[in-house]
Each structure stands twice: as C-alpha cells, then as structure tokens.
Structure 1
C-alpha cells in the first residue's frame, strides 16, 4: 500500500502518517517479518520530510531572530527610558539643592544686612562723653559772678587746650562759629530732638548743616570767650537758644553716659 504525503505547508498533517509507518514496522518486526520492506519507505519518508521541513525551519529561525531583535530593542528602549528618567531625577534634585543653597545664601546675606543695620542703628543712637577720660570740673547751676545769669547753665569738663571734643550722639549741626561769651561754639540738634552745645573751643571741625555721629570729633578744646582757662563748656537744651538748658549730667546719664 502506497503512502501519499502532502508537502509544503501541510507538513504537520503527515506527522501521524510517519508515526503510523514506524509503528507498522515495529509490529512486523515483532511478528518475525522482514523489517526492511516496511522500514525503508518510512526512513525514506523521514528524509523527504526533513527536506521539505527546511523552509519552515528557516522561517521559524528567522521568526525567533526577529522576536529576539524586537525584544532586545524593547529592552534597550526601556533601559534608555530608565536612564533618561534617572538623569531627569538627578537634574531635578541638583536643581532643587542649588536653589535651596541659593536661598540659604540669600537668607544669610539678608540676616547679615539686618544685623549690620541694627548695629548701625544702635551705634547712631548711642551716647558718649564729649571729652574722653575727663571729669566735671564745674557743676550745673553753680553760682558765680562769672556768669551773666548768676549761675552756670552747663557743666565744664576738664580739658587742656587742643583736646579732642566729640559729638555726644547723632545729630545735625545748627550753629558753628563765634558765640559771644561762649567763644567758638557748636550747637547740634540731636536725633531725639534735644540740643547740645560745646563752648570755648580753640578750633571748629564741622559746619552748619553737617550730620555728625556719636564720638565724631567736632573741634578742639580751648579758652576762647568768657573763661579763666582752657576747658570744655557743655550744655544740654530743649531748644537751640540760650535759656532752654537742662541738667547735662542727668541728660548724659539718661543715655548711659557716666559724668
């Protein structure tokens, strides 16, 4: 009996036929028959099947290669996407850290500026003695015929001629020149609205309208005007003119200056 086997794309349908032939050959062998008469066609059919399988096997191999290529491409794209995501995340973290560092620097700068402004504000509002390392040689309201009012309208600080005289605090010069009995004198309107006067100076170091700060040298002590010797006459006033004087010692002490 001849076995007809389809070729090409119908190869798979012939596999049971080949199996049947093999089983038949084995059955004949078991019955003591001739093996070659059955086995030879089956072997020939197997060889023929292998020849016809070549095209399909090639297609399967190409299909596997294509699938592997697509999978490798997908893996590469995924790895590239993950790398891009990691890079973007790192850049975002670096940007945030840089912005935070910038904010810290800016905050530190502002804090430093605030501290500097506060320190300057305190400095400008501090008070110092008009003559350093000195003492009051004539007190406020001391009585004597030396003064036209009959009493002392300020206090005298011991100071040799040429000693540096300082503004006691911040203010604006409203008078700088000859003051009659006061000799060369300076009157300053302080930032708090009060006035201070410095008399009997040997020289002046400021002019009207000039702004002065605490401890700034404004002149040198002397003995000009109505005086018996070099010293600094210092007055504290509520106004710019003579007669508005207040206790200079109490004034200085109220601003933290011992006199």
Structure 2
C-alpha cells in the first residue's frame, strides 16, 4: 500500500478528470490520500473530498496566497476546526523565503497557526522553502506537541535530523528524482525508517523527465522506487515504512 501524504486533489487542475486521476492512483497501489487546505475559499472543496473513503484532509492558510487571506481568517480557521472534527492536521502553513517582501506577514500567519495547532494538539503540515533553519528555530520556540510534516523537504541530512528531534517527519516527493538533488539524496539515505513520508504535491512538483506536466498521485509509486534505490531497500519496504509513518502522523482510516 502507498499513501500520497500531500496532494491538492481539490485544485481546479483536476476538475475535468478527478475520478480518472484517483483511479490511476489506486491502480498504482495508492490507497490513501492526504489533502491539505490552502485558502479559506477552498476549505469547502477540501472538506467535501474528506467525505470520500481513503481521503484525509487538513485545513490551513498557505503562505503563497497571502493576498487571499484576511485578518479574520485565523478565527475562521478555528471555527472550521470546531465544525470539522475529522480534520487530521493543520496546514498547509509555513514560510516561503522566495517571497522576501512578504516574510513579515508570513511569519505572523505561521505563528498564529502553530499556536492554534498547539492548542488543538494537531500535527502541522509545514511548507518550508529556503527557510529550514529559521522554521526549525521557531518550531523549537513554540513547541507544538503533535509534531507534523515538513512538506517537500529539500534540505540537508543535518536539517532533517533537526526537524526529527522536534517531532517532525519530512515529505519526499518529485525533488528526490532529479539528478542535481545530491544534498537531498544524501538526506534520504540518512533518514531513519520512520522519518519520512512519500508525497507528490500534485498538481505541482513534477518528477524528473516530466517537467511542465501536471503531477498526480499515481506518481508517488515512482517516488517510492527512487527512494528505495537511494536507501538500498526494497520498494515494498519503503512503501510499508512510509505508509506506517503517514498513518501514525495523520491517523489510520
């Protein structure tokens, strides 16, 4: 069994063929999907997907959509969590340092969501781009008790270990398949068996050889194959380990 621990099946990119996309994923061995929320306006679509068998959902406010977030959205997020006890994590939240002009606002939003997750004892799904060290520092300061997932991890073995010590696992996706990702590949080889999950970030984060194409959850099987090769383990072992970790983090269905 495979789990795609991070895929945006609610996005309009899948509106025309969502059922076929999910059928292809299941044919590839993917039995569970974790769908994060990104903006308040999309929470309804995310929650609707959560009614389906094999789909777990998260709610959060993504740092790359600051222009869509309002001052009242943290309160709205708390209310949505009250009304939706099946939500398995808070996210996608985090920091994207590519957008330097909005970093101050990103940190305010991230801190508010980490504190909310701490109050609710919910794991976090963290978007962390070019910000591994400062995000680890902030998580150490705020100490959310349920840990979470560092989505689309692209850092060093040392940074992965720092997150692990804080109770977080790292998400491995399309980036590991690219030849140039030597530092990330070293981190993959050094991770403990329970230190990672597999993900696609569909429709984004395409695999090597598929740049410019829409990504989809079926490709998590190829991510699994590459991770297994890097770790010197069997496909079945990596599938089982990563799925067990995803189910431990997000709860089993």
TM-score higher than 0.5 here?
no
**More relative contact order, 1 or 2 (CA 8 Å, 6+ apart):** 2
Q: TM-score, normalised by structure 1?
A: 0.22
